[in-house]
Amino acid sequence: MQLQEEILILDFGGRYSQELARAIREMQVFSRILPYNADLAEIKKLNPAGIILAYRPEKGPAGENTAVTRRPDSGIFQLGIPVLEFQPEEAEGGQGEDLIRDFLFNVCQVKGSWNMEDFIKWQIEAIREEAGSARVISGLSGGVDSAVASALVHKAIGDQLTCIFVDHGLHRKGEVEEVRRTFGQDFKIPLIYVDARKRFLDKLAGVQDPEQKRKIIGEEFIRVFEEEAGKIGDASFLVQGTLYSDVIESVGEGKGVKVKSHHNVGGLPEDMDLELIEPLRDLFKDEVRKLGELLGLPEDIVWRQPFPGPGLAVRIIGSIDEEKLAILREADAIFREEIRKAGLNREIWQYFAVLPDIKSVGVRDEQRTYAYPIILRAVTSTDAMTADWARIPHELLERISSRIISEVESVNRVVYDITSKPPGTIEWE
């Protein structure tokens, strides 16, 4: 299906194409990125209102002169579509924006009427067309993407959709209830809740190695999901919350984007023989959040911070058991509550508690204690590739620490991680 008007960005390398695409969408013009060597026939088929050739900078970050090595296929200039050759240096000092605006609205004469409401309508039609009368299943992870994708598909095809939510027992406090309440009760989406907590804990018992833990969780997840999906019977489609950033993969300076082939996000089974429905394929993360808000999903889901698939398992150092999970869940909930109360929840990229595999000496009620410390980790970031430790005010840290120590039994010390990435990763395992 054709969106009303779009601008095509041909990526000649560098990291600017995505920024450019987002800037254009903010001007309410839909934009799409293809690699520099995209097929002319494909470009013709898209019938864009204009094409921008986004080059990598003439001068690399280190100041060396790296000349633009690729020139566009001259056929592009003969398509009869306006073409702008864009150099990132031009973006400096706001001139870039003027240049783009002029190209879009004066040269290409686009209207600038792209908006999320229309996108929803358009997607709903596309999903209906794709799914027909077939049964569709969707795996909810508790995260933003699967929640928004599922809610959108349900709006399109109603109860042809069944959601499966596997509770592996490694979610944070309140998350399982929130997903069940939102989907099962508020949205009335057919939801299969699978209580697999014991299964996962049994498999994880005594396992210390982080990669081993991840592997066990990934494999068990697929097994449980397959079992449940099998019970639904004749499903032909699987919903996936694939985002635009998953679809276009930057393959490094000078090489341009590569469009990934179909892939399975989040380790869902490859051999299930289901066709994928990926309604978020064209959207950036912030657009997905906006879409979630428009669909009426609660703020806690729409603005949820990134959370690893293996959940709390990688935030308990070493082996996992129910007692440690309970300690971590409580401490983490206090941390999150205080950050939210202080209004810092959208500013800080990720903030969470970690439970290490050590105990230390303390005093409580004039008695010597020997208990766990809790590590607080909070970082600012834009893409999780690099991150800086968040400068949380000392008074707030003090409040969080006192609350954790007084409210969570078995914790007698709270420490704050002041390592940036690199060299420290965001997660501890």
Token representation of residue 48: 């864009």
Q: Write out the binding residues for ligand XMP, residues 405-424 only, by CB under 6 A.
A: 421
Q: Which CB, 197 or 285, lies closer to ligand XMP?
A: 285
245 binds ligand XMP (CB under 6 A): no
Q: How far is CA 63 from the centre of its chain?
A: 33
Distance CA 131, CA 154 (A): 11
Q: Write out the binding residues for ligand XMP, residues 264-283 only, by CB under 6 A.
A: none
Q: Which CB, 353 or 426, lies closer to ligand XMP?
A: 426
- From the list 378, 381, 200, the residue with the least C-alpha distance to 285 is 381
Contacts of 64 (CB under 8 A, 6+ apart): none
- From the list 120, 320, 154, 310, the residue with the least C-alpha distance to 237 is 154
Write down the least CB distance from residue 422 to ligand XMP, Å: 9
310 binds ligand XMP (CB under 6 A): yes
308 binds ligand XMP (CB under 6 A): yes
427 binds ligand XMP (CB under 6 A): yes
Distance CA 254, CA 401 (A): 47
Q: Which stretch binds ligand XMP (CB under 6 A): 166-174, 226-234, 250-258, 302-310?
A: 302-310
Write down the least CB distance from residue 99 to ligand XMP, Å: 34
Write down the least CB distance from residue 8 to ligand XMP, Å: 31
Contacts of 189 (CB under 8 A, 6+ apart): 150, 151, 154, 161, 163, 183
Binding mask 316-355 for ligand XMP (x = CB under 6 A): ----------------------------------x-----
Cβ–Cβ under 8 Å, residues 142 and 181 = no
306 binds ligand XMP (CB under 6 A): yes
Distance CA 102, CA 125 (A): 33
Let me know if 1 is exposed, middle or buried by CB neighbors in 10 A (0-12, 13-18, 19+): exposed
Binding mask 213-242 for ligand XMP (x = CB under 6 A): -x----------------------------
Q: Which of 88, 256, 309, 373 is the binder for ligand XMP (CB under 6 A)?
A: 309
Q: How far is CA 72 from the centre of its chain?
A: 33
Total residues contacting ligand XMP by CB under 6 A comes to 12
Write down the least CB distance from residue 268 to ligand XMP, Å: 13
What number of other Cβ atoms are within 10 A of residue 59's Cβ?
A: 13
Q: Which stretch binds ligand XMP (CB under 6 A): 119-127, 201-209, 286-294, 303-311?
A: 303-311
Distance CA 381, CA 285 (A): 14
Q: Which of 68, 194, 384, 397 is the binder for ligand XMP (CB under 6 A)?
A: 384
Contact residues: ligand XMP, CB under 6 A: 214, 306, 308-310, 314, 350, 384, 421, 425-427
